[in-house]
Homo-oligomer: A and B are copies of this chain.
C-alpha cells in the first residue's frame, strides 16, 4: 500500500480540521492531517484558549483584590506579566500534547508543512525547515486552513509597533499604552485584558457603537464597563490612525482574512467574498470530493461551528453526503468583564409581536453573595405562543449560562418552568428575565 495515499486528507488542525480528521477515522477512513504551524490552529494557539487563559488570570486577580469583602486579609505582589505568559504557554503546550495523543491513538498521520493543491486529488506539502516536498494523494480532501488577522491599508504588521491579536497575546511586557483599532469581539477582549493588566487603552471603532451586531443595550453595558475599567472608548471614530505616534503599540483588530493560499485554482475550487471557499449545506465545495469547514468557509468564524462542520464534512466525505448543516442555533460570547453573550432562534426576524423581559444581577441572591452583581439578562418572548426567542446576558458565568439559553432556544420549550433550574444559581436569572416579560417576576419589585 502506498504510504502517501489516503481516503481523507485534512488541511489544518484547528477545531474544524481536528474534528474532521478524528471523525473520518471513526467512520473507517485512512486519514492524514496537514499542519503548517502548531497543532490546534488559531483556537488553541492564538485565539480562544490563550485569551480565556489571560482573562481568567485577570478575573482571579480581581477576585483576590475583592476578597476583603469576605473578611480575607491578603497581600498580592504586583503581577509580572512575563510569568503569566510562561504559564499560559505551558498550559497551551499541554493541551497541544493532548491533541497529538488523540490523533496518534486514531492513527491519523500528522504531516508538518504547507499544503497546496496540484489537482483535485493531489496535494504537495512543503516543509521549509526540512527542505522537503511530499506529494500525497487523497480520495477526499477537507480544507480547514482557517483565517489570519487582516491588516489595514497602509499599515503592515511589524510584530513590534503595529501588531495583531496573535502578537499581542505574546507581548513580553505590558505596553504603557496601546491603540486598539476595531471594537468587535477581538478588540473588546484585547481591551479588557490589556487594560486589566495596566495598559492605558484607547479602543476605536468606526461604527456608532461597540460590537455593532450585538443588541444595543448589551453594547452600551460593555462600553460602560470598559470605560469604568479605564478604557478610552471612541465610537464613530474614523481618524484613530491619524496620530499613531502617541501610542507605544497599535493593535489592528478589524477582521480576519482567509488562509487560501493553497493554489485552490489548480483544483478548480470556487471562492467567494474576500476569498473564502464556497460550500453548500453538506460543507462541500463546488468540486465534489473537496469539502471546507470552519473559518475558511466563512460562514461563521467560531471554533464550535467549525467543530460542528468538521464532523459533518467528515461524515459526508466518508459516507456520501448524508447530513447537512443548517438551522443552526449558535450562541455568541464576548469576554468583556463581566462576560457577555447572546443566542437567538434562527428565524428571529420573522416574529412580529415580541415582548421583552429583563433581570439585573443585583436582584439575584447567588450573584449577591458571590459579589458578582454587575450585569443583566434580557429575554425576548413571542407574545402569542410564549416561546422564548432570544437571550442576552451580560454578567458573571454568562459563557456557561448562554448554553442553558441555547438549549431552550433550540428546543420545543414553550414556557420556562421554575423547578428545572437549581436555586441558588446564576441560571435562575434567565427564568426571571423570562417571567419579567410577562410582568410577573416575583424576584423584582412591582413596576
Shortest distance between the CB of A247 and any CB in chain B (Å)? 27
The proximity string for A residues 282-308 relative to B, scoring 1 for CB distances below 8 Å and 0 otherwise, is: 000000000000000000001111011
Q: Which of A42-50, A180-188, A376-384 lies at the interface? A: A42-50
Please, how many residues of chain A have a CB less than 8 angstroms from a CB on the other chain? 94
A410 and B413 within 8 A (CB): yes
Give the nearest-CB partner of A427 in chain B: B403
Oligomeric state, in number of copies?
2
- Which residues A387-446 have CB closer than 8 A to chain B? 397, 399-404, 406-408, 410-413, 417-428, 439-440, 442-446
Given the known interface contacts A64-B64, A369-B56, the answer about A442 and B410 at a Cβ–Cβ threshold of 8 Å is no
Residues of B within 8 A of A397 (CB): 397, 400
Does A98 have its Cβ within 8 Å of any Cβ on chain B? yes
Give the nearest-CB partner of A420 in chain B: B406
Give the nearest-CB partner of A402 in chain B: B422
Residues of B within 8 A of A426 (CB): 400
Residues of B within 8 A of A446 (CB): 102, 105-106
The proximity string for A residues 62-75 relative to B, scoring 1 for CB distances below 8 Å and 0 otherwise, is: 01100101111111
Does A157 have its Cβ within 8 Å of any Cβ on chain B? no
Does A196 have its Cβ within 8 Å of any Cβ on chain B? no
B74 and A87 within 8 A (CB): no
Given the known interface contacts A307-B423, A412-B412, the answer about A442 and B101 at a Cβ–Cβ threshold of 8 Å is no
Task: Tell me the interface secondary structure of chain A in the complex.
Answer: helix
Does A333 have its Cβ within 8 Å of any Cβ on chain B? yes
Given the known interface contacts A95-B365, A404-B403, the answer about A421 and B19 at a Cβ–Cβ threshold of 8 Å is no
Residues of B within 8 A of A423 (CB): 15, 43, 48, 302-304, 307
A70 and B49 within 8 A (CB): no
> How far, in whole Å, are A242 and B154 apart by their CA atoms in the complex?
83
Does A178 have its Cβ within 8 Å of any Cβ on chain B? no
Does A262 have its Cβ within 8 Å of any Cβ on chain B? no
Q: Which of A77-85, A118-126, A204-212 lies at the interface? A: A77-85
> How far, in whole Å, are A302 and B425 apart by their CA atoms in the complex?
13
> How far, in whole Å, are A5 and B302 apart by their CA atoms in the complex?
60
Does A370 have its Cβ within 8 Å of any Cβ on chain B? yes
Does A94 have its Cβ within 8 Å of any Cβ on chain B? yes
> How far, in whole Å, are A67 and B65 apart by their CA atoms in the complex?
12
Residues of B within 8 A of A354 (CB): none
Shortest distance between the CB of A310 and any CB in chain B (Å)? 8
Contact among B71, B330, B370 with A84 in the assembled complex (CB-CB below 8 Å): B71
Does A155 have its Cβ within 8 Å of any Cβ on chain B? no
Given the known interface contacts A52-B366, A86-B71, the answer about A422 and B442 at a Cβ–Cβ threshold of 8 Å is no
Given the known interface contacts A72-B76, A72-B79, A445-B105, the answer about A413 and B407 at a Cβ–Cβ threshold of 8 Å is yes
B23 and A442 within 8 A (CB): yes
Since A400-B427, A410-B413 are in contact, a sample of 20 more A-B pairs with Cβ atoms closer than 8 Å, ordered by chain A residue number, is A15-B423, A43-B423, A52-B369, A56-B70, A57-B70, A64-B72, A71-B79, A71-B80, A73-B77, A74-B76, A91-B368, A94-B368, A95-B365, A98-B363, A105-B446, A304-B422, A329-B419, A400-B401, A403-B422, A410-B420
Q: Which A residues lie at the B interface, using CB under 8 A? A: 15, 18-19, 22-23, 26, 43-44, 48-49, 52-53, 56-57, 60-61, 63-64, 67, 69-77, 79-80, 83-84, 86-87, 91, 94-95, 98, 101-102, 105-106, 302-305, 307-308, 311, 328-331, 333, 341, 363, 365-366, 368-370, 397, 399-404, 406-408, 410-413, 417-428, 439-440, 442-446
**15 pairs across A/B with beta carbons < 8 Å?**
A15-B423, A26-B440, A48-B424, A52-B369, A56-B369, A60-B72, A74-B77, A304-B428, A307-B442, A311-B442, A331-B422, A333-B422, A341-B422, A400-B425, A403-B425
